[in-house]
Structure 1
Amino acid sequence: MEQWNIWLERDVWLNVAIVLVATALIYSVLRTLVNTLHKRLKAGSADQESSWSHFIAMVIGRTSRALLLAFSLLLALRLADLPLAWQSALSHTWFVALALQVALWVDTGVRLWSRSLVIGKSGGSYNPVMTTIISIMILIVVWSVMLLSILANLGVDITALVASLGVGGIAVALAVQTVLSDVFASLSIGVDKPFEIGDFVVFGEVAGSIEHIGLKTTRIRSLSGEQVVCANADLLRQIVHNYKRMNTRRIVFKFGINYDTPSAKVRQVSEKVGDIIRATPKARFDRAHFLGFDESQLTFEVVYIVLTSDYNQYMDIQQEINLQLLDALRELDVRFALPRRDLRLVGERMPVLKVDGLPQPAQSESNDSDQRLPRFS
């Protein structure tokens, strides 16, 4: 009965009125300050969405009205004469409200940062999967620290909770280690950037363009048209050739001419090849040498640099060089080598070919037992 009589006292209602009025005034002032600061920062960065002022304006705009009201109430309660038990509870409430608001600000900042990396002025060069993974990890850490801090401030022993979370995390990591290896491989791809979406890569027997880099797999559109799905961890274990980042292309090709070619014309062939490549656009001549004596041909080795990474342009250049080389060798009266074989019959006579209606040649005895057949080219 005495507890109810307390509420009939004049001082109690006076304190309640003071708290309510002070709460309303403080909330109005704080709300006005937050709105004014938000509008000014946003207006100052209207043309520069990637500026720090715009970033701070968006973070301030995430201020919770409920938490702002709770903060105003806590400030107003300082004006009233409260029992010690109430003051102790209010001290904990202060920390809870402040921790929640800071967590909201950090959450908004992390989300804005990750979105700016993907769609900002970087032109989408950042891997969206990588930025998503990093932002999720940061948010998990922020909210976990906030929750543990609130529990610790309220007097809860979090030692056993932290230990349990650590053991549980190890158990979960062991259970999904294959998935986690692919996830961390995706994170590694996003940070190190060995390739990006749109790059043309070759590894193993796969050649194609990167279409998607996911949490677990990377999808490649092969030259033959089908989509190849490869686990991120398996992909990083292989040697990947990224042709999208190739600035120039070094080309080596060989050709052979007939053994009957005079040495003077052999020298002219190297000079002609150099002249042809120097006159070809987007091609830089390196060398052309008479390499060696191979079976059925005198072999030349030619090296030049294509000043573009486009494969179709390279094929156009090589075709033009081949056509001009064909014309140049015809002008020099030099023939390309063809496969040839020399057959010898040892201890046997030449075979006699008989054709009806034609006179037969006279057979002559020969003491030479080594007779050579006609040469076939």
Structure 2
Amino acid sequence: MDISGPGMNYILAALTILLAISLAFLARMAVRWLEAKAGETDTQWDDILVAAIGTPVQVGIIIIMSYFAVTWFDILPQSLQWVHDPRYATAFWIVISAWVVSTFLHSIIHIYGRAIAEKSASDMDDRLVDLLELVIRYVIWFAAVLAILKVFEIEITPLLAGAGVAGIAVALAAQDLISNFFGGAIISVDKPFKVGDRVKIENY
């Protein structure tokens, strides 16, 4: 059986993808080993770093090598030739970077923010930590989406304007809620009174 030409390209591409899966498996084992070693130290920074890069590295290995497999050996049909556009590679790196950074910052806030919040008798600190964890993820991924749109030369000004209008509408609709939230946050930070104190408000 003659496997030269296009047939050989498909075989080589398949072998490259299998190699990618094998390397990702080895990376997974390496990450687990690093996690075990990080758990033996007194600091949390190494745990946070390993957790942030572990899964993205494994996913990145498979995607990158699979991409090279189908492009190097030219096995893509005509309808998928758009994959050769370098902008998609740039978008991929933006996604991976956002994934690592958001996981890293989320872990820092979760570990150190919780540690600080546990020292407070109020549960407001815990709520602030939850809010900050959520906000940091949304901000990073929103920035990543804007960066990807810019890579593909998609005008983002209307999107930003729309987001601003939507933000104003939400703020106006929930101004009492927002006011109460920040009022509670200020009370939580300043701690003018503690649990058990009697607070008199007007005639109450």
1:71 aligns with 2:60: yes
1:43 aligns with 2:33: no
How far apart are 1:172 and its partner, in Å? 1.5
- Residue of structure 1 in register with 2:193 after alignment: 195
- Residue of structure 2 in register with 1:54 after alignment: 44
**What are the superposed Cα offsets for residues 152-184 of structure 1, whole Å, 9 maximum, x if unpaired?**
334433221111001111122122212211111
RMSD: 3.3
- Residue of structure 1 in register with 2:92 after alignment: 93
- Residue of structure 2 in register with 1:107 after alignment: 106
1:129, 1:186 within 8 Å by CA — same for their partners in 2?
no
Query: How far apart, CA to CA, are the structure 2 residues paired with 1:61 and 1:173?
Result: 35
Highest relative contact order (Cα 8 Å, sep 6+), 1 or 2? Answer: 2
How far apart are 1:149 and its partner, in Å? 2.9
Query: How far apart, CA to CA, are the structure 2 residues paired with 1:127 and 1:10?
Result: 62
Q: TM-score scaled to structure 1, two decimals?
A: 0.43
The residue matched to 1:203 in structure 2 has which SS? coil
The residue matched to 1:33 in structure 2 has which SS? helix
Q: TM-score scaled to structure 2, two decimals?
A: 0.72
- Residue of structure 2 in register with 1:173 after alignment: 171
Letter in 1 for 2:34: L
Query: How far apart, CA to CA, are the structure 2 residues paired with 1:148 and 1:177?
Result: 28
The residue matched to 1:189 in structure 2 has which SS? helix
Q: Which protein is bigger by CA-based radius of gyration?
A: 1
Query: How far apart, CA to CA, are the structure 1 residues paired with 2:95 and 2:129?
Result: 30
Q: CA separation of 1:100/1:62 partners in 2, compared to 1, >3 Å: closer, same or farther?
A: closer
Matches within 5 A, 1:1-377: 9-45=6-42, 53-58=43-48, 60-61=50-51, 65=55, 67-76=56-65, 77-78=67-68, 81=72, 85-87=82-84, 88=86, 89-119=88-118, 122=119, 124=121, 127-196=125-194, 198-204=195-201
Q: Aligned pairs, how many?
A: 190
Query: How far apart, CA to CA, are the structure 2 residues paired with 1:59 and 1:195?
Result: 39
Instruction: Work out the percentage of aligned pairs sharing the same amino acid.
Output: 21
Q: Which has the higher strand share?
A: 1
Q: CA separation of 1:194/1:132 partners in 2, compared to 1, >3 Å: closer, same or farther?
A: farther
2:27, 2:58 within 8 Å by CA — same for their partners in 1?
no
Q: CA separation of 1:92/1:19 partners in 2, compared to 1, >3 Å: closer, same or farther?
A: farther
Q: CA separation of 1:69/1:29 partners in 2, compared to 1, >3 Å: closer, same or farther?
A: same
Letter in 2 for 1:34: V
Query: How far apart, CA to CA, are the structure 1 residues paired with 2:6 and 2:178?
Result: 64
The 4+ residue runs of structure 1 with deviation greater than 6 A are none
Structure 2 residue runs without a partner (length 5+):
75-80
Q: Which has the higher helix share?
A: 2
Q: CA separation of 1:142/1:124 partners in 2, compared to 1, >3 Å: closer, same or farther?
A: farther
Letter in 1 for 2:60: F
Query: How far apart, CA to CA, are the structure 1 residues paired with 2:132 and 2:90?
Result: 34
How far apart are 1:14 and its partner, in Å? 4.0
The residue matched to 2:44 in structure 1 has which SS? helix
Q: Which moved more, 1:102-111 or 1:174-183?
A: 102-111
How far apart are 1:117 and its partner, in Å? 2.1
Query: How far apart, CA to CA, are the structure 2 residues paired with 1:131 and 1:99?
Result: 20
